[in-house]
Amino acid sequence: FIGAKVFLALLAAGWEGYAAAIRHQTEMGALLRRRLEENGWTVHNRTQLPICCFTDPGGADPHAIAMRVVESGEAWISTTVLGGRITALRACITNFSTGAPDIEALLAALEAARLQVRRTAG
C-alpha cells in the first residue's frame, strides 16, 4: 500500500513534476544549511538531501531547543545522535511546498529557543 502513494504522486505530477519537487526540496535544504551557518550554528552534515543536522556552538542543549521550537507551534524539529556521541538538532524538509519564508520562520523559532535555553542554563 505504501507503493500506491508513490504511484499516485507520479500519476498526478508526472516524472518532471516529481523531479521539480525534489529539486526544490534540495534547494531549500541548501538554503537552510547556509542560513544556519550565517546565524552562528554548526552544521554537521554535507549532503544534497534536504536533511540538516546542526548544533549551537555555545553548547545550548539540543533537546531543550527542539522542545521549545515544537511548543512554539512555529515549526517541528527533532534531535538525533551523530556518530554515537554528538546530540544534534535535525531538520528534514519533506513538504514540497516548503519555501524560503518557512526556512526563515524556522530560523526565527530556533534563535528564540536558543536564547531562552541559554538564559535558563546560565
Quick one: what percent of the chain has pLDDT higher than 70? 98
Chain-centre distance of CA 98, in angstroms?
11
At 89, which amino acid appears?
L
Structure confidence at residue 117 (pLDDT): 96
Tell me the pLDDT of the chain averaged across its residues.
92
Q: 20-75, pLDDT tens digit by residue?
A: 888 999 999 999 999 999 999 999 998 999 999 999 999 999 999 999 999 999 99
Share of the chain above pLDDT 90, in %: 76
Which residue has better confidence, 96 or 11? 96
Q: What pLDDT is recorded for position 108?
A: 97
